[in-house]
Amino acid sequence: MVGERSSLTLTAPQEDYLKQIFLLGERGGSVGTQSLAVRLGVRPASVTGMVQRLAELGLVDHRRYRGVRLTEPGRQVALEMLRHHRLLETYLAQTLGYGWAEIHDEAERLEHVISERFEERIAEVLGHPTRDPHGDPIPDAQLRLPEDDDGCRLAEPGTAGAATVLRVGSQHPDSLAVLERLGLVPGTRLEVLEHSPAGVRIEAGGSRFLVPSELASQVWVEGGRP
């Protein structure tokens, strides 16, 4: 079923749930309803009701005490939303001049309403990118994700030496703005100097500074493996 687009008509919240289950489950694992409630900023009871509706549609498999897992149709919807979202982020940044920290929220609003024709047109204009401005992989037109190495988190104990930023995982505008100000964007080369309870001391762009642990856990790097 790779690349088969869903014929179901879903609401934006239903699509959001499927996308977040995919992201929290690391491309296929089970997700606890409490974790889903925290990610979406809703009450656990709301999650339970939505998961039940998605299960009735055949989009998730929910077993008590074992979490929620996407079915193959649910996974295809999630990947389609990710493709919309990440192409829109790229278009907003590269073509319309949106700031790095602004594009996520704007893409969240638009991802549910664009057509497949518009999606493909954006991809053509952008040259069919494989990663968005945050470094996240973009599913292709057949809804396949690239098998690229996602590296390791900057905060992982033992990470040391030369490394290159691959992607950032934060979706919060304030965190993204701080990372951008520090120069920790995809493609940045850095040197990991020291780990401490407060964070990771690095050298980048000719400066040495401490990256707080919470931010360092949102940065994936290539090289410098523990």
- Mapping DSSP onto H, E and C, the string for the chain reads CCCCCCCCCCCHHHHHHHHHHHHHCCCCCCECHHHHHHHHCCCHHHHHHHHHHHHHCCCEEEECCCEEEECHHHHHHHHHHHHHHHHHHHHHHHCCCCCCCCHHHHHHHHCCCCCHHHHHHHHHHHCCCCECCCCCECCCCCCCCCCCCCCEECCCCCCCEEEEEEEECCCCHHHHHHHHHHCCCCCCEEEEEEEECCEEEEEECCEEEEEEHHHHCCEEEECCCC
Using the structure block, give the residue that is written with the tokens 């239903």. 14
Report pLDDT for 5.
Answer: 61
Q: Could you count the other beta carbons within 10 Å of the beta carbon of residue 220?
A: 21
pTM of the model: 0.87
What burial letters (b/e) apply to 6-23, b meaning 16+ CB within 10 Å? beeebeeebbbbbbbbbb
CATH class of segment(s) 152-222:
mainly beta
Q: In terms of CATH architecture, what is 12-74?
A: Orthogonal Bundle (1.10)
**Closest-CA residue to 131 (of 222, 36, 13, 214):** 222
- The full set of domain ranges for the chain reads 12-74, 152-222
Residues of the chain with pLDDT under 70: 1-6, 27-28, 148-149, 224-226
Q: Give me the pLDDT at residue 190, please.
A: 96
pLDDT given at position 96:
96
Fold agreement (12-74, 152-222): no
